[in-house]
Amino acid sequence: MSSALNLSHEPVTKIPHGKLVMWAFLASELMFFSGFFGAFIVLRNANYDTFGQGSALLSWPLALVNTFILIGSSLTMAMCIYHLERKNNRFFQLFLGLTILGGFGFLIVKFIEYSSKFEHGLFPGQEHHTLFFSFYFMMTGFHAIHVIAGMIPMSFMWFKSFTKKGYPYPVKVETLGLYWHFVDLMWIFIFPALYLMIPYHGAIGGH
Amino acid sequence: MGDIFKVFNMMAWFPENVSTFGAELDNLFGVIYYLSVVIFFLTFGIMGYFLIKYRHKEGRKGYNYHGNNIVELTWTILPTILFAGLGLYTDSAWAETKYSHKVPVADVEILVLGKQFGWYAMYPGADGKFGRNAYTDRSARHLMSTTNPFGIDSTDEAGMDDFVTENQFKIPVNSNVVVRGSSIDVLHSFFLPHMRVKQDVIPGLWMKIWFNAFKTGNYELACAELCGGGHYSMRAEYEILSKSGYDKWLDQKNSDVKQLRMMSAGTTEPAPIVEESHPASH
Amino acid sequence: MSETSVVTPDSGTMDVGHHDHHELPWYRKYLFSTDHKVIAKQFMIAALFFMFVGGAFALFIRWQLAYPGKPIPVIGSILPASWVTEPMSGVITPEFFTQLLTMHGSVMIFLVIIPLAAGMFGNFCIPLMIGTDDMALPRLNMWSFWLVPPAGLIMMAGFYTETGYAAAGWTSYPPLSALTGLPVFTISGQTLWLIALFMIGFSSIMGAVNYVTTIMNKRAKGMKLFDMPLTVWALFITAIIITLGTPVLAAALTMLFMDNFLHTSFFLPDSLVTSSHYAGGGQPVLWQHIFWFYSHPAVYIMILPLMGVVSDVLATFSRKPIYGYKAMVFALSGIAFLGFIVWGHHMFQSGMNPLLGTTFVLSTIVIAVPSSIKVFNWLGTLWRGDIRFTSAMLSGLAFVSMFIIGGLSGVFMASAAVDIFIHDTYFIVAHIHYVLFGGSLFGIFAGIYYWFPKMYGRMLNETWGRRHLFWTFIAFNCTFFPMHVLGLAGHMRRIYDPNVYDFLKGLSGLNEFITISAIVLGFAQLILVANIFHSLIWGKKAGRNPWNANTLEWAAPEHPGHGNFDTDITVYRGPYEFCVEGRELDYWPQWEPGESISVHHHTIAVSKEESENKVFGAH
Amino acid sequence: MGHDHGNVIPSYMKVFYTLCTLTVLTVVAAKSLHFPASWGTPGDILHVSIGVIIAVIKVIAVMYIFMHLKFDHPFLRFLVYVPAFLFVVLTFALNFLESWDYIH
Ligand code: HEA
Ligand code: HEA
Ligand code: CUA
Ligand SMILES: [Cu+2]
């Protein structure tokens, strides 16, 4: 019915609905992580030494590897949208595949990191934790959940692209791409915050 | 009938004020109250007038008018000035009561601890100085326990004469009492209604609270922050004594402490609780 | 859901939309519907159900305060054993009392007012008032509703845990809310509360991003942003607050959940004597900051939509354009923006740096300015009107007047020095209820009375509506006005038994009076329920535009089906053109073609040529 | 889509290289610039600001190019600037939190 009426017109802002919803949602996500970062900054300053000790126990080279993986997958994500918009299905598949692979790579490295922490008896909470590791697991954990949540629809699109019609919705890929870049973006903050920016001066204490 | 009007005479309901800065705070309340009354009658009056005057009648027509920027501006700017003025006007009282650099030199210094569900107060004893405890030395915090809530280091000479009272304390009249308040478990709020004092106490921090009473008598201390099922019963009493009465009480306590110390000589015990009451026992 | 009963039997002919769609199975139509109107009704029914629950909790609280130690009448003897001091005694325990007030606050705020204000009005009004067929993403919209009932159930499931319901107040300050005394990985009422709030928050966000997109993208042809009714503006701004505020709460909830469930210590300092197995290092006040960073904007989430609704109601029934439309929009935005920088006024006595207190005094006091602008503009709207006292109008007027009282009591607390004494006393409780009941709930009543005809195609009974409002208004003021007095006398909030204190001894008469009024207030709401059910079946049929209003929803059929409209919608003018000079009718709908010019804040209908000449210059 | 800006691959690559370089730069800065402990808080602030500034540059690059913020509707920029501002407000106020008055 509504096709006969003028109610369902093209979006007033020219931004597709899904994409605008995604942007609004990302604004929301930004505030979500703001809550964590705000708390992190305060408690870091109040517990400078224990945070320094905790940070020193992390393996920044592994995190560096992960940073490169995420940057790379952000690039391949941008590329795959570019190629889908130009109907280069082969390249679309290639770059989306690489993006998914990046996601897997990230998670594998994360897994290695986590299991070495668990081996050393570092958990969030309970008797032996320090506040730093609560933050570490919470922030990287939420980030990892976001990675996984992004990979699910991505894999779906990837498999769909092998059907006869290919993957026909560039806007959806673009929307997912926004999300994926956001995940990268959060890591850009998490990486220095947790791994780098808490110099440990030993027992002297920075403050 | 008079009772009904008493409901609107707000200022009459305040509990008696015994604090030097209390009257100022009450007055500020009064200022805002009378301002509000004026605004109330103004707005309600205008509204009632319009409602009656412009109620629907045969032949009446609404007035197509979209508003006027000058009017809008007026009733933006005027309240802004009024409100900002009000904020600044009340700020000096706030600064006086709460800013830590405005806290006067202490005539009497007490440590207060909230716990579920009651209050401890600690006095520095005969030497007028606290020994090493969780307040004076942060590293003594690990000494805190249910039997030693203040984390008193019993090896410190200076702390030998410190004593603790439970659910009650006494202060002298016309003296600056500086209270350092904290908690051993959850949040509580140190509320002296008659003194117009309220300050949450937080485990891990020592809040600076001060007041000066101008009248003697027995009053109550309440907890104003939800702290569990027994929150309502977290009541304590305090007595404001004349200066000489207070000194007498202090001497009494000091000798009590000495006695207790002698009896338990050799054992390393934290400051004894010399006086307790359970006003809210049930 | 009882949605089945709401489709009036013979409205079929008007449900133009239905015939062109596949006949959906019943569960798609009434349960998992993606139609925004059905979702709105679902929000309404769920929220009104929870209002009963929350109201019942309130009456328990009131009984205990008026008659401490006396058994609760009628149902006292059948209360669960864990709620009462001795089996069958009917006297509730202090622990249960704290659970009651926590659940009362949480239910009323998160399961009643927010779902009604943002969920129900957001869903119902936005697509209809901007003249479109549905939300931008209808399916997302459906999920935003379907997270709420499970969340409510999870919150209520606290009853089955070892510790009972959450018991730390709706603000859930740690350490109290974190120290459950239970081993790790044990679910307590508090844990469930945290989970439930997380879900409700997520639901709000899903709804809000949808509203933002719908309003930005789907406005009818010709509708500029400044042609939107104030209800839509208010909901738009509310949606932005939700989008940016709620996730911060989610972060705080996550941290508190970890403290509570995994025994981390984000909010727990060192050396908690009674629970030494916590590692410490955290800060209790941190929670308060993050919580209020959300929850102050949240109180505006609860009132802004209703400010919009009331603006529309006032304009329609005064038969006048709203006074200062743009000023109203700017005031809404101002409140929203300032709302994010005043959170510290809840924490004046919390041990926050007193210097910060001073800055928060100023920002808080400034936020009263846009509220004043709104009040004055409402009064200006009444000025020289042609006022019709319908039930909707009466609720709207109650909203304005009660909001003034509630707002003025806010100004007391906004001054940090005055707040020292009244913080955490019944003065605050009075403020809460004047703004939330007197404000939000009366606004919701106004909206229900106003849009019921469009929702269900039938009119609510006006006589009963008036009776409902009369009794509610009287009982409301008798219940909550004396609470100011209690507060001034020093009566702390959240206490189980005021008689423990000597200085509160004289207040028991007042407490009794409040309780009796509260019971009347509760029963008065039954009139509304009865009216709703009565009118659903026997109500007078509503035409398309029973109030002769201007906004687009009244262009839709009297009981719109899927797709909302049966004609093209093009918008020609702003939403408040009442009594335009040069027109026979005293209203001029937005969708009706016609030319006009604007002279000195008046609108004049003219012929096409005249308007092209634009002698006086259009606005 | 809708807005096709020709061949964007070179600018994508530029962003990619920038991101990689800046990442290396952060690590190098963090690991080599050890301000003496005696500098106390100012040293810490300096150290952190370097990391934050680099991160912000990276984020801007990602947002503006990868996420097309540069080419899109201004409302989207509103959706980024406002949370960013609120974040600053929140952290700024929070850092007053542990009021030095009360620490003892
Ligand atoms: C809908 C909800 C709502 C609304 C709109 C408001 C509005 C306001 N609130 Fe309220 N508030 C709550 C809900 C709300 N509040 C709740 C739930 C709590 C308690 C939370 C808890 O602890 O459990 C609370 C607590 C609360 C406190 C904390 C008190 C304490 O715990 O010690 C403060 C302190 O500043 C405050 C202030 C204000 C102010 C200044 C406004 C302003 O926006 C009001 C502005 C309105 C007016 C000023 C009136 C109209 C104007 C005029 C008639 C103009 C004429 C006036 C002049 C020219 C002077 N509120
Ligand atoms: C919108 C929010 C809202 C509403 C409507 C109410 C309604 C009521 N509240 Fe509310 N109250 C709060 C929000 C609300 N409250 C909050 C946030 C707190 C703070 C909690 C805390 O401290 O943590 C609080 C705290 C609070 C206290 C303080 C508790 C304490 O600190 O010890 C008291 C005490 O008297 C009280 C009483 C009441 C009463 C008697 C009502 C009456 O108005 C209730 C009467 C209503 C009914 C009995 C049910 C009515 C509804 C229906 C009958 C349904 C209608 C159905 C249809 C239309 C279909 N409330
Ligand atoms: Cu302690 Cu309430
Ligand atoms: Cu507030």
Residue C247 and residue A31: Cβ atoms within 8 Å? yes
- Tell me what the mean pLDDT of segment D50-62 comes to: 88
Q: Is D54 on the interface with A (CB under 8 A)?
A: yes
User: Which residues is B183 bridged to in the sheet?
Assistant: B114, B203
How is residue C566 annotated by DSSP?
A: S
Chain B positions touching D101 (Cβ under 8 A) are: 100, 208
Give yes or no for residue A127 having a pLDDT over 80: no
Query: To 5 degrees, how large is the angle CA C335–CA C341–CA C345?
Result: 100
Q: Mean pLDDT of all residues in chain C? A: 88
Distance between CA atoms of A34 and C586, rounded to whole angstroms? 51
Q: Based on the domain organization, do B201 and B167 belong to the same domain?
A: yes
Q: Based on the domain organization, do B208 and B126 belong to the same domain?
A: yes
What phi, psi does C320 have (nearest 5°)?
-145, 150
Strands B236-241 and B168-172: parallel
- We report the CATH number of the domain holding residue C521 as 1.20.210.10
- Give chains near A: 3+ CB pairs under 8 A: C, D
| Ligand 3 neighbourhood includes B225 CB (under 6 angstroms) | yes
Residue C208 and residue A24: Cβ atoms within 8 Å? yes
Q: Based on the domain organization, do B247 and B136 belong to the same domain?
A: yes
Strands B118-123 and B163-166: antiparallel
Report which of B181, B211, B210, B165 is spatially closest to residue B111, judged by C-alpha positions: B181
The pLDDT of residue A36 is 93
Report which of A176, A75, A140, A82 is spatially closest to residue D19, judged by C-alpha positions: A75
Give yes or no for residue C613 having a pLDDT over 70: no
The pLDDT of residue B274 is 67
- We report the CATH number of the domain holding residue A96 as 1.20.120.80
CA of C432 to the centre of ligand 1 (A): 8
Q: Based on the domain organization, do B111 and B183 belong to the same domain?
A: yes
| Ligand 3 neighbourhood includes B115 CB (under 6 angstroms) | no
Higher pLDDT, B241 or C601: B241
| Edge-to-edge order in the sheet of strand B197-201 | B168-172, B236-241, B217-223, B188-192, B197-201
Residue A196 and residue D8: Cβ atoms within 8 Å? no
Q: Are C259 and C307 contacting, i.e. CB atoms less than 8 angstroms apart?
A: no
Residue C213 and residue A24: Cβ atoms within 8 Å? yes
At C6, the pLDDT band (50, 70, 90 cuts) reads: very low
First to last CA, chain A: 69
Distance between CA atoms of C151 and C153, rounded to whole angstroms? 5
Residue in the block written with tokens 């304005």 = C400
- Tell me what the mean pLDDT of segment B12-40 comes to: 91
User: Which residues is A123 bridged to in the sheet?
Assistant: none
The pLDDT of residue C101 is 94
- Tell me what the mean pLDDT of segment B225-234 comes to: 92
The pLDDT of residue B158 is 77
Residue B193 and residue C503: Cβ atoms within 8 Å? yes
Angle between helices C462-488 and C442-456 (to 10 degrees): 160
Q: Is A144 on the interface with D (CB under 8 A)?
A: no
Give yes or no for residue C378 having a pLDDT over 50: yes
CB pairs B-D closer than 8 Å: 16
Determine the structural domain holding residue A30 and report its residue range. 17-196
The pLDDT of residue A72 is 93
Amino acid at C370: P
Distance between CA atoms of C577 and C320, rounded to whole angstroms? 7
Q: Based on the domain organization, do B70 and B162 belong to the same domain?
A: no
- Tell me what the mean pLDDT of segment A33-62 comes to: 87
The pLDDT of residue C479 is 94
* Portion of chain A with pLDDT greater than 70, in percent: 90
The pLDDT of residue C8 is 35
Q: Which of C409, C417, C501 sits opposite B90 (nearest CB)?
A: C417
Q: Based on the domain organization, do B70 and B131 belong to the same domain?
A: no
- Residue range C35-46, pLDDT digits in tens: 899 999 999 999
Distance between CA atoms of C306 and C116, rounded to whole angstroms? 10
The pLDDT of residue C7 is 34
Q: Is D70 on the interface with A (CB under 8 A)?
A: no
Atom of ligand 3 nearest to the CA of B231: 2
Give yes or no for residue B282 having a pLDDT over 70: no
At C4, the pLDDT band (50, 70, 90 cuts) reads: very low
Residue B226 and residue C382: Cβ atoms within 8 Å? no
- Residue range B128-180, pLDDT digits in tens: 888 888 888 888 888 888 888 888 887 877 777 888 888 989 999 999 999 99
- Tell me what the mean pLDDT of segment D1-20 comes to: 76
- Residue range A154-205, pLDDT digits in tens: 999 999 888 888 888 888 998 999 999 999 999 999 998 898 877 665 443 3
| Ligand 1 neighbourhood includes C46 CB (under 6 angstroms) | no
Distance between CA atoms of B108 and B124, rounded to whole angstroms? 9
| Ligand 3 neighbourhood includes B184 CB (under 6 angstroms) | no
Give yes or no for residue A113 having a pLDDT over 70: yes
The pLDDT of residue B277 is 60
Higher pLDDT, B77 or C13: B77
User: Which residues is B275 bridged to in the sheet?
Assistant: B165
The pLDDT of residue D37 is 67
Question: How many domains does chain B fold into?
Answer: 2
Chain C positions touching D74 (Cβ under 8 A) are: none
Whose atoms come closest to the Cα of C375: which ligand?
A: 1
Is the residue at A8 inside a domain? Answer: no
Which of these ranges, A82-86, A118-122, A140-144, has the smallest mean pLDDT? A118-122
The pLDDT of residue B267 is 58
CB pairs A-C closer than 8 Å: 159
Q: How many CB atoms lie within 10 A of CB B53?
A: 12
At C566, the pLDDT band (50, 70, 90 cuts) reads: confident
The pLDDT of residue A190 is 92
Q: Are A63 and A191 contacting, i.e. CB atoms less than 8 angstroms apart?
A: yes
Give yes or no for residue A206 having a pLDDT over 60: no
Q: Mean pLDDT of all residues in chain A? A: 85
Is the residue at A6 inside a domain? Answer: no
Is the residue at B218 inside a domain? Answer: yes
Which of the residues A87, A95, A185 would you substitute to probe the D interface, choosing the one with the greatest number of D C-beta atoms within 10 Å?
Answer: A185
Residue in the block written with tokens 């009917």 = C90
Is the residue at C612 inside a domain? Answer: no
The pLDDT of residue B58 is 84
What residue owns the CA closest to ligand 2's atom 53? Answer: C525
Is the residue at B282 inside a domain? Answer: no
What residue owns the CA closest to ligand 3's atom 1? Answer: B188
Q: Based on the domain organization, do B140 and B266 belong to the same domain?
A: yes
The pLDDT of residue C611 is 62
Nearest CA of chain C to the CA of B160: how many Å?
22
Q: Is D97 on the interface with B (CB under 8 A)?
A: no
Q: Are B107 and B173 contacting, i.e. CB atoms less than 8 angstroms apart?
A: no
Q: Which of A15, A35, A50 sits opposite C290 (nearest CB)?
A: A35
Q: Is A134 on the interface with C (CB under 8 A)?
A: yes
Query: To 5 degrees, how large is the angle CA C518–CA C523–CA C524?
Result: 95
Distance between CA atoms of C370 and C46, rounded to whole angstroms? 33
Residue B207 and residue D102: Cβ atoms within 8 Å? yes
Atom of ligand 2 nearest to the CA of C436: 1
Which of these ranges, C27-31, C214-218, C429-433, has the smallest mean pLDDT? C27-31
- Residue range C318-329, pLDDT digits in tens: 999 999 999 999
Chain B positions touching D102 (Cβ under 8 A) are: 100, 202, 205-208
The upper half-sphere exposure of residue A183, i.e. CA atoms within 13 Å in the direction of its Cβ, equals: 31
The pLDDT of residue A88 is 84
The pLDDT of residue C22 is 59
CA of B122 to the centre of ligand 4 (A): 36
- We report the CATH number of the domain holding residue B159 as 2.60.40.420
Q: Is A18 on the interface with D (CB under 8 A)?
A: no
- Tell me what the mean pLDDT of segment C168-175 comes to: 92
Distance between CA atoms of C257 and C238, rounded to whole angstroms? 27
Determine the structural domain holding residue C451 and report its residue range. 26-555
Distance between CA atoms of C500 and C345, rounded to whole angstroms? 29
Is the residue at C14 inside a domain? Answer: no
Is the residue at C20 inside a domain? Answer: no
Determine the structural domain holding residue B88 and report its residue range. 2-55+66-101
Residue C579 and residue B197: Cβ atoms within 8 Å? no
- Residue range C263-298, pLDDT digits in tens: 888 998 877 776 666 777 888 889 999 999 999 999
What phi, psi does C606 have (nearest 5°)?
-135, 170
CA of C411 to the centre of ligand 1 (A): 7
DSSP, collapsed to helix, strand or coil, labels residue C583 as coil
Q: Based on the domain organization, do B119 and B251 belong to the same domain?
A: yes
Question: How many domains does chain C fold into?
Answer: 1
Query: Quick check: bond before B117 cis, omega within 30?
Result: yes
- Tell me what the mean pLDDT of segment B11-34 comes to: 90
| Ligand 1 neighbourhood includes C428 CB (under 6 angstroms) | yes
Q: Based on the domain organization, do B94 and B25 belong to the same domain?
A: yes
- Residue range B183-224, pLDDT digits in tens: 988 999 999 999 999 999 998 888 889 999 999 999 999 999
Is the residue at A100 inside a domain? Answer: yes
Which of these ranges, A122-136, B234-248, C153-167, C168-182, has the smallest mean pLDDT? A122-136
- Tell me what the mean pLDDT of segment D40-66 comes to: 83
Q: Which tokens in the block code for residue A58?
A: 């992390």
- Tell me what the mean pLDDT of segment B261-280 comes to: 63
Chain A positions touching C221 (Cβ under 8 A) are: 6, 9
Is the residue at C122 inside a domain? Answer: yes
CB pairs A-D closer than 8 Å: 136
Give yes or no for residue C491 having a pLDDT over 80: yes
Helix (H) or strand (E) holding A101: helix A89-119
Q: Based on the domain organization, do B239 and B109 belong to the same domain?
A: yes
Is the residue at A175 inside a domain? Answer: yes
Give yes or no for residue C423 having a pLDDT over 80: yes
Chain B positions touching C512 (Cβ under 8 A) are: none
